[in-house]
Amino acid sequence: MASRWYNPMSWSFFGFNDPKTGQYIEVNNEIGGQTRSGEVVTPKKAMAIPIVWSCVKILSETASGLPLKLYEDLPAGRALAKGNSRAARLLAKPNPYMTMLNFIKAIIVNMALRGNAFALIERNDAGEFIGFIPLSADSVEVNTDDDLIYWVTLKGQRFPVSPEFMLHFKIFSADGINGLSPVEFQKEAMGLAKAAQSWSSRFMRKGGFTGGYVIYDNFLTAEQQAQVLDKFPKIRDGDVEDIGKMGLLQGGPKIVPAGMTQKDSQFIESQQFQEEALAGIWGVPLYLANRAGKTSIMGSNLEQQTSGFITFGLSPYIKAIEDEINDKLFGGTTQFVEFVVEGILRADSAGRATYYGSALGGSGGSGWMTINEVRRKENLPPLVGEEYDRVTRWEMQTNVKD
């Protein structure tokens, strides 16, 4: 594949050229669709649900904020890669249009909504990677009929891309090739939340008026019915400017409300339940999404919940990114990349202190880390001296009789 840069802002979705006008027409191939609640859920529409926005935002911003380090696998153990190598520069700025922070954000958003994220690998004539830029998941089709091939559609042109030129990040999968989309498989839950959101908006627009019946003891003529209905046209049309105005009805009618109030429908409780269910899809604790709710099953305090979020919510995403980059870009070499998550774990101060104490041999047993190794995990500079690079060993002395 020839090496040339593409501006991702100019990329289009699947489509065709109109034979009459010659114009390119995009086709909506977004995942999701119609739900039983009546709402249409797609990745873009799902982001209009506040809790979905919060969860995806937390995942993308947290993962992109983690340092992505390049390591060297040496006989004496792993060590940070030294020097300003091409790989190190690309891990800071993978293409001319974005930094690694924005690249990771785009990848996580696609993974969290569509289950898959793609990035085209640019290589030079020697086969060395010189950059990679994200693709919209809607513009890539995975074909496994014979060999694994990625069909990419850009501005109406469809072309194949072999796996060595494509980074394919995915969440958990049923076949090991395509990630399962949360929007596709959880669209009913999202549709219910969106329907409640729409109903609440209409309820507020009508000033809490849910409609009702005007009951008379005697039958009305068609003319009388028209006169009664004409008294409240704006309320029935939902014009907020007419809410609160007076109406006059003669003949002793009875006004019977129709439908359920927010209290009767347990609207608040239902909304809270939907937020908990949707946050659970991405493993995000409610407190991180700025929701004051029940205690999470991940722990009884914020430190434990943060640790649980890293393990069960964030880790699957960053491990998938590490695995794909190491396989496609550094496979067959001694180099590999890894996210540094210790910065987030600093919140669990008591747990970290206990762990590092044991690692240094402070619990009465043999240690397995040096002081400088602990300092590196805390992003602190190393101390000078052999004693700071020595692992503590507690040797068991035995008396041997001559």
- Longest distance between any two alpha carbons in the chain, whole Å: 122
pLDDT in tens, 350-363: 777 877 888 888 76
Q: Assign 346 a pLDDT band (cuts: 50, 70, 90).
A: low
Radius of gyration of the chain (CA): 30
Give SS3 for 313: helix
More confident residue, 66 or 1: 66
Cα-based angle 311, 315, 318 (whole degrees, multiple of 5): 165
DSSP states along 177-245 = SSBPPHHHHSHHHHHHHHHHHHHHHHHHHTTT---EEEE-SSPPPHHHHHHHHTTSHHHHHT-GGGTT-
Q: Assign 378 a pLDDT band (cuts: 50, 70, 90).
A: confident
Q: Assign 340 a pLDDT band (cuts: 50, 70, 90).
A: confident
| DSSP category for residue 147 | S
More confident residue, 234 or 325: 325
Whether 257 shows a pLDDT value over 90: the answer reads: no
Q: Give which of 207, 182, 204, 238 is closest to 49, Cα–Cα.
A: 182
What pLDDT was estimated at residue 26?
Answer: 47
Whether 184 shows a pLDDT value over 60: the answer reads: yes
Average per-residue pLDDT in the chain? 80
pLDDT in tens, 271-328: 778 888 999 999 998 888 877 655 555 555 677 777 788 888 999 999 999 999 999 9
Model pTM score: 0.73
What pLDDT was estimated at residue 106?
Answer: 96
Cβ–Cβ under 8 Å, residues 318 and 349: no
pLDDT in tens, 68-113: 999 998 887 778 888 788 899 999 999 999 999 999 999 999 999 9
Q: Give which of 145, 142, 182, 185 is closest to 162, Cα–Cα.
A: 142
The number of angstroms, rounded, from the C-alpha of 368 to the middle of its chain's C-alpha atoms is: 36
More confident residue, 318 or 235: 318
